[in-house]
Amino acid sequence: MISALEAGGFEVLDVEALRRHYALTLRAWVRNLEEHWTDAVQASSEGRARIWRLYMAASALGFESGLTGVNQVLVQRAGGAEPPLRRTEWI
């Protein structure tokens, strides 16, 4: 992916691995769904709520085991203005 971005005229400024963050987020979403199960079922259906719970729990396992990963890539057109040096200054 990085090679394709660079071949497309982009300069890669930063790559951040978010795998562990996603695992934690998905676990929190599953907890939240379970804590509000009755509301979720009333808003959709029991089947739909069960599918989402299974999907999020399985996805969390994938991220926790390292079988699934996700990276955030910050790029800019090559030759663009110099960006700030630290992530905290980007916003």
Instruction: For residue range 19-67, list pLDDT tens digits in order.
Output: 999 999 999 999 999 999 999 999 999 999 999 999 999 999 999 999 9
Instruction: Name the least confident of 11-15, 53-57, 76-80.
Output: 76-80
Beta bridge partners of 33: none
In this structure, the number of other CB atoms found within 10 A of the CB of residue 59 comes to 18
- CA 59, CA 78: separation in Å to the nearest integer? 35
Exposed, middle or buried, 39 (CB in 10 Å: 0-12/13-18/19+)? exposed
> Under 8 Å CB-to-CB from 15, ≥6 apart: which residues?
2, 71, 72, 73, 74
14 neighbors 55 (Cβ within 8 angstroms): no
Q: pLDDT grade, residue 8 (50/70/90)?
A: very high
* Confidence (pLDDT) at 85: 82
